[in-house]
C-alpha cells in the first residue's frame, strides 16, 4: 500500500509539474511529421498481466524521427508512462516492461522466471539505466532489483535517471558501466551468488 501511495503521489506531481514540457513535446512531434503524439503497445505487467503502455512516439515508417532522436537520447519519450503509474500498471522503479514476444524470445515464459514478474514494471530501473547489454545481464539486473530493493538504491536510480535527462543516455551509461567495471573487476555478468555486485550504486 505504501509503494502504491508513493507511485500515485509521484505520478500526479510529475504530470502537474511536467505538463508544460508534455505540451511542448506533443507540439514538436506534430510539427515534425504531423503524426500521432503517442505510441501504445501491450506489455507484460505484474503477475504477467497484460497492460497498455504509453510513450511519446519516436518513429515513423520504421525510421526514428528528428524529435524522436532527442526524446530517446534524454529518456523523455517515457514521460507518458506517468499515466501508467496512476492506473496502477507500473511503478516508478522496477524491471523493464517487456512485450509478450520479448518474454518468449528471452525464454522467460516459464515459472522459473516468475520472480521477475512478481512486481510492477518500472518507468526507470537498473536494466533501463544500463540498457540491458544482453539477456543474462538484463536478467541479473532485474532480479537484483527485485531481491535487493531498498530506499537507498531507489534514490540512486532516480538520481542517475535525472542525470540522463540532463546529460544524455550515452554519457551517463558510459559512466555507470565504468563504475561497475571498477567495482566488479570485469564487464560480464557475475554468477548467481553475487547479485549485489551488479546493483549500481552498490548496496554493500
Helix (H, G, I), strand (E, B) or coil at 59: strand
Query: How many Å apart are CA 49 and CA 109, to the nearest integer?
Result: 12
CA 71 centroid distance within chain: 14
Burial class of residue 26, CB neighbours in 10 A (0-12, 13-18, 19+): middle
Confidence of residue 67 (pLDDT cuts 50, 70, 90): very high
User: For the segment 128-176, what is each residue's pLDDT rounded down to a tens digit?
Assistant: 887 656 788 889 999 999 998 888 889 889 988 888 778 777 788 778 7
Residue 21, phi then psi, degrees to nearest 5: -65, -40
User: For the segment 141-150, what is each residue's pLDDT rounded down to a tens digit?
Assistant: 999 999 988 8
Q: Containing H/E element for 53? A: strand 50-56
pLDDT of residue 186: 52
Report yes or no: 97 and 128 within 8 Å, Cβ to Cβ.
Answer: no
User: For the segment 103-131, what is each residue's pLDDT rounded down to a tens digit?
Assistant: 999 999 999 999 999 999 999 988 888 76
Amino acid at each position: 500500500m505504501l509503494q502504491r501511495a508513493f507511485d500515485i503521489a509521484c505520478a500526479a506531481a510529475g504530470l502537474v509539474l511536467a505538463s508544460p514540457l508534455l505540451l511542448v513535446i506533443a507540439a514538436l512531434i506534430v510539427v515534425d511529421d504531423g503524426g500521432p503524439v503517442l505510441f501504445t503497445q501491450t506489455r507484460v505487467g505484474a503477475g504477467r498481466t497484460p497492460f497498455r503502455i504509453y510513450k511519446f512516439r519516436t518513429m515513423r515508417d520504421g525510421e526514428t524521427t528528428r524529435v524522436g532522436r532527442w526524446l530517446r537520447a534524454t529518456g523523455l519519450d517515457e514521460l507518458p508512462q506517468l499515466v501508467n503509474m496512476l492506473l496502477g500498471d507500473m511503478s516508478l522503479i522496477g524491471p523493464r516492461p517487456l512485450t509478450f514476444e520479448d518474454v518468449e524470445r528471452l525464454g522467460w515464459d516459464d515459472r522459473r522466471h516468475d520472480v521477475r514478474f512478481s512486481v510492477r514494471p518500472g518507468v526507470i530501473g537498473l536494466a533501463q539505466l544500463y540498457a540491458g547489454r544482453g539477456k543474462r545481464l538484463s536478467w541479473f539486473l532485474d532480479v537484483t532489483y527485485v531481491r535487493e530493493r531498498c530506499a537507498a538504491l531507489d534514490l540512486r536510480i532516480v538520481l542517475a535517471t535525472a542525470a540522463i535527462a540532463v546529460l544524455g543516455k550515452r554519457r551517463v551509461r558510459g559512466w555507470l558501466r565504468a563504475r561497475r567495471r571498477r567495482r566488479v573487476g570485469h564487464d560480464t555478468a557475475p554468477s548467481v551468488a553475487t547479485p549485489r555486485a551488479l546493483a549500481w550504486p552498490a548496496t554493500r
